Structure 1
């Protein structure tokens, strides 16, 4: 009994004498930043206890009511929401605030401490180590995979055309992106376009949903509570599926490479899901990590799994979302779609089957404008969170104190009417670089679909290449007609910006 009283007294003393004064001091430094009223302990969590489609309207009400710099709380943690270019530059361009916010800790079970979630010297070392994986020559080799999988993609779309009815194009594009990323990341074909009910495919989708579900519910943040909850138990099952698949691929890939080395670059090709790329023909991201392991003893198999899982997550969800939104926006605007058709006809003529080359991609200027405008309206990653590690003075003298979390709200940053007039309008001409008022006259941090600064997206060239190949495959072969209005699409800003109920279109062969 005595020890229990002593323990309780110690905890209360710590909270009252140390934690509470520190928190009060932090809160007193945030009084200059306006924000919605919040509740004790819960903060603004109940404001977000709404259907998923209403999270964006809640955030919009905060920004409309308090400006593009807003104070709010999730539980006891103070957040500063920013949606203007000047503040965004202070955070993303900083060499100090390069640590992701604790919100990314919810991804640790899944992605470990890979490039997305790692910190400090570990992140710097891993970034340097992985940069060669995105060298131009390797991306050129990946282009072969893009073309092969897009040939399958075209066949899938032709079947949809023959069915002559509206369909949701989002999962169709996502399955192609999954096939591409599995082959480029792991050298493994999963045939997602033919077998979309794959347990691995379903587990990746569900993990993304569960991370977001947990984030908006502070009472599920403690790990022990999360693991006891039904959602936490489901999360564990999904993790077993995803990690088990990646671990198996790493083991088999290492074994195959050993056999190839011993057999003088000859290998047996399996005719099932275990098909690998011949390393003589193509090099997967996983191969580069295995090679790096030979010279870096600190790179363990678990590290390889973390980076492979990170590349899988970031490399399929983001590109499929960007491709789907751009395709849907073009389906709503036949005048812009006609320009894309003309550009592709100028490049390929009437040949609907020729593979896309690097030279072709460079000529897709107008299509690139359309992709950039699609990413403006529906950035693949709607939020970027950073931990403030040192007091940050903003341009107007306001100080963001050490210890707060900053959320850069990219979704609303891209809708700043002072930068993008008529911001809800889809207008690819905004990105014509040679026109007055185009990107050259824009604040460099007003448009950051791939983040910016030291922690910008390492795979943005890969993503743009893939999106061009996917979208050009669609519009070389089809006219796309919207089967719903844009205002009828409920947008979810989760880990990825996605439609709640899909993007429905019909296709017409050209």
Structure 2
């Protein structure tokens, strides 16, 4: 009996010690949080009462841009803050150290993405520690060199022609309300499969793509898990239908790509590779594997990353582009003038030199990405303390969330921020702009390695569409709101009207 009492007392002492330690740690963090020049932190709720939603309730953002840092919550004794990436003190401006959470190579916050599927969290380019990510990034950077990207322009042109033939057929059939989202997405999928894997999946001709359905399903599941704290537990998540659906999609759909990769890895012929006129991303990775720089698992992970990031983000951006340009006839007329000056009435393929001449089209794409960045939020766990002001420093190890959708609407950097104005990106108007005021591809050391690939792809596809068609968005801009999931998609279906500008021979 006495032994039981002693054991019970020991348990109580240990429990009390843990509670006291937890309380003191929490109080220390609260004292730290109180120094932030921003909305007051409310236990459990964080700063949510100081936020507002857009008219459709789809996107949350601060009520005022005077705050550069907003405390969200304390998770496992780790502060979680939303910050403006340009926040820094004068002392930091003079410092040789990092001047923003984006300047370092801090880990992409795995905790924030703990509700992602195993398929996504296995992608090292997105989630790995800096020690693993840094050498991998250095190794992969040459695969996105302009000389290699030039070879992909032929693929972009070929698949753009297929897309235009589909749109042209719909127009000939008298369709005046065309949902371009699926058509553009399948075009981007065909492109990414051919450039990444060297494989023709003919998604545009076989519109029931299992891969696309799987990605959409998983995106929705991930978004629902992020909104519901109870579902962030893998055990609880697997008890519900979403958990079962997630495993089914990963195994049956996305897992099919692993089988394809396994076949490629086991039967790869390096002599045949040297004879290819154009190397796919997989070819370049397999050459690195042959040299001992990558393992087979590394190759699988990088192809998965490229496949996921390379089709959904670009297709979403292009659909936002068509909607905004379709609501802005004056801007569309300027694009037509630029393309006519380059191509005339010729239906030849776009060359790399042509793309360089599409300066106004590029400004339009950048402005679309300012208003509707494909990735609405990203996170870092910072690897060194960062001083916001003389009175407050974000401690090392904190989880920092940055929302491009909010940053791109800061009137300090973007006057009349809701206005669609591509002239913002003309050289004369871009001079002196803060380097982190615009970050659709993230920024700093861990920015998107494929951003040049994406820009070239979008310029080719969109130039093909606008060379031959005049587009009109049937819903007004104020009728289409963004829906913040993993990718910032329209909350409603956007129907477009296409009118032929000049003959097209496919």
Of 321, 327, 344, the residue aligned with 2:339 is 344
1:25-104 equivalence runs, <5 A: 25-33=28-36, 34-35=38-39, 38-40=42-44, 54-56=57-59, 59-60=60-61, 62-64=62-64, 67-73=67-73, 78-83=79-84, 85-87=86-88, 90-95=99-104, 97-104=106-113
Instruction: State the distance in 1 between where 2:489 and 2:88 align.
Output: 26
Q: C-alpha offsets along residues 287-335 of structure 1, whole Å, 9 cap, x if unaligned? A: 11111111226x3333222111111111111111111111211111111
| Cα 1:4–1:196 shift into 2, 3 Å | farther
| Cα 1:466–1:18 shift into 2, 3 Å | same
SS, match of residue 443 in structure 1:
coil
Superposed displacement of residue 229, structure 1: 2.7
> Which runs of no fewer than 5 residues in structure 1 stay unpaired?
267-277
SS, match of residue 127 in structure 2:
coil
Of 416, 419, 430, the residue aligned with 1:422 is 416
SS, match of residue 103 in structure 1:
coil
Which TM-score applies when normalising by structure 2? 0.88
Of 124, 139, 156, the residue aligned with 1:114 is 124
Q: C-alpha offsets along residues 465-493 of structure 1, whole Å, 9 cap, x if unaligned? A: 00101110110110001100111112112
Partner of 2:22: 19
Contact residue 150 and residue 176 of structure 1 kept, 8 A: yes
Of 137, 162, 166, the residue aligned with 1:152 is 162
Superposed displacement of residue 43, structure 1: 5.2
- When structure 1 is superposed on structure 2, of 97-106 and 209-218 the one drifting more is 97-106
1:225-240 equivalence runs, <5 A: 225-240=236-251
Instruction: State the distance in 1 between where 2:407 and 2:150 align.
Output: 33
Instruction: State the distance in 1 between where 2:442 and 2:430 align.
Output: 16
| Cα 1:229–1:4 shift into 2, 3 Å | farther
> Which runs of no fewer than 5 residues in structure 2 stay unpaired?
90-97, 502-506
1:237-386 equivalence runs, <5 A: 237-258=248-269, 261=271, 265=272, 280-296=276-292, 299-352=294-347, 354-386=348-380
Contact residue 157 and residue 350 of structure 2 kept, 8 A: yes
Instruction: State the distance in 1 between where 2:378 and 2:14 align.
Output: 34
Superposed displacement of residue 95, structure 1: 2.5
Superposed displacement of residue 130, structure 1: 1.0
- When structure 1 is superposed on structure 2, of 424-433 and 249-258 the one drifting more is 249-258
- When structure 1 is superposed on structure 2, of 91-100 and 467-476 the one drifting more is 91-100
Instruction: State the distance in 2 between where 1:7 and 1:351 align.
Output: 85
Which TM-score applies when normalising by structure 1? 0.87
RMSD: 3.0
Partner of 1:166: 177
Contact residue 380 and residue 496 of structure 1 kept, 8 A: yes
Contact residue 105 and residue 445 of structure 2 kept, 8 A: no
SS, match of residue 104 in structure 1:
coil
